[in-house]
Amino acid sequence: MILASTQTMWFLTRSSGLVAMILLSASVALGVVTSVGWSNVRWPRFVTLGLHRNISLVAVVILALHIATTVLDGFAPIGWLDAVVPLRSPYRPIWLGLGAVAVDLLLAVTVTSLLRRHISHAVWRTVHWTAWAAWPAAVLHGLGTGSDTMNGWAQLVYVACTAVVLAACWWRIAVGWPARLKPRVAALVASVLIPLLVLFWAVSGPLHTGWARRAGTPTQTEQQTR
């Protein structure tokens, strides 16, 4: 079913995408802080864990809204299956595909977490770690497909989300330094290199003119003005 393309759907999909991005970033950061094990008289550990779990669930709901509004808005050729199977849609296949990858991983994380008590802890933990692939995939998806990437305030949101996640990571790396030095240094290097690489790519990619065509926006979609 394709609803007539209206502004409402388009605004909803953009905003829910950004909100999902914010919530996902908060969830990742809170997950890292949970493993730090920090606590305070006013902020016990179970609060961090509880927030992480609840924000994750809300993020999933908003993500569902983001997917639904994208599909129901007939403007771009994106169907339900494209939300979980990457590279199917002709619309910016790689960048949309990254979103599908993020959805797949987050779906696995959510299901295993809801069934925590019934599966082995090792399985749960392995799947949970794929969140570290899901989050950057979501960021790249947003930068690559997002209609607001050129907007200053949207860029601020991306930077803030990344900053929060990185800050949590650096906190985690710092606590207990220099025990287990090799994985700590590797994580530190990755946490500096990868954002820099993404920044370079963003500047020459989505932030550069002509991105819509280079990303693979189908011509009919591109030609329609908004």
Partner 1 sequence: MTIRLVLDPIACDGHGLCAEVFPEGITLDDWGYPILREGDVPRQLEQHARRAASACPVLALRVRRVR
Q: How far is CA 204 from CA 57, 210, 215, in A?
A: 35, 10, 12
Does 45 bind partner 1 (CB under 8 A)? Our answer is: yes
Note the maximum CA span of the chain: 59
Among 8, 11, 38, 39, binds partner 1 (CB under 8 A): 39
Q: Pull the structure tokens for residue 112.
A: 């295993």
- The stretch among 114-122, 135-143, 157-165, 211-219 that binds partner 1 (CB under 8 A) is 114-122
In the chain, alpha helices (H): 7-36, 45-72, 93-114, 121-129, 131-145, 152-174, 181-204, 211-215, 219-223
Q: CB of 176: closest distance to partner 1 in angstroms? A: 13
- The stretch among 29-37, 76-84, 156-164, 208-216 that binds partner 1 (CB under 8 A) is 29-37
Does 42 bind partner 1 (CB under 8 A)? Our answer is: no
Among 121, 180, 182, 226, binds partner 1 (CB under 8 A): 121
Q: Which is nearer to partner 1, 50 or 183 (CB)?
A: 50
Q: Pull the structure tokens for residue 103.
A: 């959805």
Does 180 bind partner 1 (CB under 8 A)? Our answer is: no
Q: Indicate the SS3 state at residue 73.
A: strand
Which among 152, 155, 127 has a CA at the least distance from the CA of 142?
A: 155
Among 116, 208, 213, 214, binds partner 1 (CB under 8 A): 116
Q: Pull the structure tokens for residue 142.
A: 């947003």
- CB-based burial, 59-83: b 16+ in 10 Å, e otherwise: bbebbebbbbbbbbbebbebeeebb
Answer yes or no: are the C-beta atoms of 64 and 36 closer than 8 Å: no
- The stretch among 42-50, 64-72, 129-137, 210-218 that binds partner 1 (CB under 8 A) is 42-50
Among 11, 38, 46, 129, binds partner 1 (CB under 8 A): 46
Does 44 bind partner 1 (CB under 8 A)? Our answer is: yes
Applying the rule CB under 8 A, the residues between 49 and 88 that interact with partner 1 are 49-50
Size of the site for partner 1 (CB under 8 A): 13
- The stretch among 66-74, 105-113, 117-125, 169-177 that binds partner 1 (CB under 8 A) is 117-125
User: What residue ranges bind partner 1 (CB under 8 A)?
Assistant: 34-35, 37, 39, 44-46, 49-50, 116-117, 121, 124
